[in-house]
Amino acid sequence: MNTHLCLPELTATFASQTVGFERPCLLVIGGRPPERAWLRRIAHHRTVWAVDRGLGFCRESGILPARIIGDGDSATKEAWTWGEALAIPMDRFPPEKDLTDTQLAIRIANDAGFAAAILTGAFGGRLDHAYSTAFTAAHAPISCVLADARETMLFLRDGEHATITCHAHPIAISLLPFSEQVNDVRTEHLHWTLQNAVLSQDEPAAVSNVLESGENTFSVSIGQGILAVYLCWAE
């Protein structure tokens, strides 16, 4: 069974029984603000949840979220006042807690029955926040992708295969292990091709690849592990 992830910069087709991007929840979180036109485009016909500072991004882009999640420590007072006036479900948490707002949002999305989530506002900002978000997404009980107009990161798990068609030419494509090792990594139509490769988390070696000349589609498959496929269009 194939499932498709459609973003402005790419379309990814997963050959998997577990990946489910047909009806994902869009989580607008609090890192680098996504471009307003890009956010409006990706939000079209999707369920949008605002996560703390992401509430301000929604307000600035003219997007009405269906739910608000967070502790209120990074969104502006004006954004929270606007959000409260929408009279939509709000999950408000104390700032002193064990999990981040993003981690809580992914848990709530899973509990609500979503099979997948697109996280935008995930890049930029503090490294510890980005690290936490990426590892949480990689190991989440639902399929997750991090995306904005400049960068996208999607994840493959045991035995999965993805074919990715780029609508804009990326300046870099990297394969990043999110488990101790990723075994039997295979790629097609990248400049540096991998066959039965083992990628190690302690020395990531498959960084800054590019598309094969004349190609706009490439594929990646793995045997065991968790592998991030990262694409960059602008630094």
Quick one: 113 and 123 in the same domain? yes
Same structural domain, 137 and 69: yes
Residue with tokens 């295979």: 186
Q: How sure is the predictor about 74, in pLDDT bands with cuts at 50, 70 and 90?
A: confident
Q: Please give the share of the chain, as a percent, with pLDDT higher than 70.
A: 99
Q: Are residues 23 and 137 in the same domain?
A: yes
Give CA separation, 75 vs 9, 24, 61, 78, 148, in Å: 28, 24, 15, 8, 20
Label residue 24 by pLDDT band (50, 70, 90). Answer: very high
- Examine the domain organization and report whether 144 and 161 are in the same domain: no
Cβ(70)–Cβ(51) under 8 Å?
Answer: yes
Identify which of 213, 212, 206, 201 has the alpha carbon closest to the alpha carbon of residue 229.
206
Joined tokens for residue 204: 């990531």
| Burial group, residue 153, by CB count within 10 angstroms (0-12, 13-18, 19+) | buried
Taking only Cα atoms into account, the Rg of the chain, rounded to an integer number of angstroms, comes to: 18
**Global pTM value:** 0.94
Residue 27 in any domain: the answer is yes
Q: What pLDDT score was predicted for residue 2?
A: 83
Instruction: Please state, in angstroms and rounded to a whole number, the distance separating the CA atoms of residues 199 and 208.
Output: 14
Same domain, 181 and 109: no
Q: Are residues 58 and 124 in the same domain?
A: yes
Residue 91 lies in a domain: yes
Judgement on whether residues 196 and 129 belong to the same structural domain of the protein:
no
> Looking at the 3D structure of the chain, how many domains does it have?
2
Residues 13, 167, 57, 123: is their CA dihedral positive or negative? positive
Q: Which of 115, 149, 183 is the last residue of a domain?
A: 149
Is 167 found in the same domain as 142? Answer: no
Check pLDDT > 70 for residue 227: yes
Last residue of a domain, one of 123, 149, 175: 149
We report the CATH number of the domain holding residue 136 as 3.40.50.10240
User: Are 29 and 47 part of one and the same domain?
Assistant: yes
Looking at residue 17, its pLDDT comes to 62
203 and 145, same structural domain?
no
Mean pLDDT score across all residues of the chain: 94
Q: What confidence category does residue 72 fall into, taking pLDDT thresholds of 50, 70 and 90?
A: confident
For residues 142 and 174, state if they share a domain.
no
The most distant pair of C-alpha atoms in the chain lies apart, rounded to whole Å, by 55
Helices 77-85/54-61 angle, 10° precision: 70
Judge whether 130 lies within some domain: yes
Rounded distance between C-alpha atoms, residue 13 and residue 21, angstroms? 9
* Among 132, 149, 166, residue at a domain's last position: 149
**Which two tokens mark 28?**
């607008």
Structure-token pair, residue 227: 């592998």
Q: Which domain holds residue 63?
A: 19-149
